[in-house]
Structure 1
């Protein structure tokens, strides 16, 4: 069930049987020569959508711009300052809580969102602590790529060249979700270099084509389908347990 494709009476009816919602959250940033700029938003979106359709839980709109300042050296990348992301996430939380949601699960696709989203959660909870009241809702952040079983599957599929950015696993998921957007690009070097992440200029200098330790030329829609199937099953289990908590 998609929030954007529902009417308000349908959401009102949903709230009578469930107080939980899943929010895909990602980023709009470069993902190497053959990766889509929307990769980090597309991955959690397609996994959450398929899981929600199968299990019947509500999936909210995708929060598709995150904290990605280090990618600004590449055209098309868009970022929010950490403080902006924290404020925006809290506004989303407050809006959903206003309607009666008490279990809000953020399915994340971008590592740079982890610290600010957890900070947003801390800020949200702290308001209740300062008021001396018990918070009536619970918040959860989980990365699609750390759902149970996903790392083992990825290691099996890509024993070499997974890397840490513009990975063949995430590119495969986007090619499954958007088959018409596949790119065929020769990678040079085959395996990208690795190193720390700092500001945008430093990143572009260290990783000139955007990849970190990866060889995304291994990506395919078929591999993406396997990953989405496994992630969907894992997400359903995680969400159902969280909604019952």
Structure 2
């Protein structure tokens, strides 16, 4: 790295960047005098319909993590790109790993950060709903085995109230109104709205289940690749055509504000 690309420091000598991957170990040492909180974007690389790229579930939490780190004391870890996505393998480009591999990998990443001084870990989950169970287990193990203040942070939980207020589509389950709106706000150049198409799920679902991210899902359930292939030829479930940048901005702000509050309390010791 040349001197022109080295992160500049503020008046106190702290590097301006919060991205761990862009810092030297000495800059990490300095940063740890200010914060012991690490944001870890966790996602997947999987199909997101005909209008969005496969990296949506990582692009979202990483960008939101950067916004959080700009407002609150926290470092931003490199993202975890591969998740538990067997149900999306009916389209090319999707990667998936086993539950056991995923849990062990995420645990080891966070445990290694604890070795160099991190006390609080927030797993910003962009592949929410699908891999919530795995990350809940990782959080428990980090707390019990490594004494780390770990939290699972599914994005949909953070913006759920706002999403309920501003939604115009009846269903947004995958790659539809919510995710497309967030991407229009954060990465509009990666969204092709001309290629977006609505895909309605079955009118009725099983009792205690619902094909909606904000639906009445009272029991745990999962879709297989065969299920998804039957449900959606395009890859999304719901209507991405009603997504807007303005909706995305509201969803992102809700997520950022919520996590900032948690980080600030963690850092203050309250």
Asked if Structure 1 and Structure 2 have the same fold, meaning a TM-score greater than 0.5 normalized by the shorter chain, the answer is yes
For 1:205 and 1:161, the matched residues in 2 are separated by 20
Query: Residues 31-81 of structure 1, C-alpha deviation per residue, up to 9 Å, x if partnerless?
Result: 222232111111111111111112232111111211111100011111111
Change (3 A) 1:179 1:163: closer
Query: Residues 155-209 of structure 1, C-alpha deviation per residue, up to 9 Å, x if partnerless?
Result: 222132342211211111112222212211252xx45214574321232122222
Give unpaired runs (5+ residues) of structure 2. 1-17, 206-220
For 2:168 and 2:119, the matched residues in 1 are separated by 40
Q: Give 1:19 shift.
A: 1.3
Give the structure 1 partner of residue 82 of structure 2: 65
Give the structure 2 partner of residue 131 of structure 1: none
Give the structure 2 partner of residue 96 of structure 1: 113
Give the structure 2 partner of residue 182 of structure 1: 191
Aligned length: 233
Query: Residues 105-148 of structure 1, C-alpha deviation per residue, up to 9 Å, x if partnerless?
Result: 1111112221112222334445x4xxxxxx5321110112211x
- Say which SS state the counterpart of residue 33 (structure 2) adopts: coil
TM-score (norm 2): 0.79
Give the structure 2 partner of residue 167 of structure 1: 176
For 2:240 and 2:171, the matched residues in 1 are separated by 7
Contact 2:40-2:76 at 8 Å conserved across structures: yes
Corresponding position: 1:115 with 2:123: no
For 2:140 and 2:71, the matched residues in 1 are separated by 32
Contact 2:124-2:154 at 8 Å conserved across structures: yes
TM-score (norm 1): 0.87
Cα RMSD between the aligned structures? 1.9
Give the structure 1 partner of residue 103 of structure 2: 86
Q: Which residue, out of 241, 245, 262, partners 1:217?
A: 241
Change (3 A) 1:211 1:186: closer
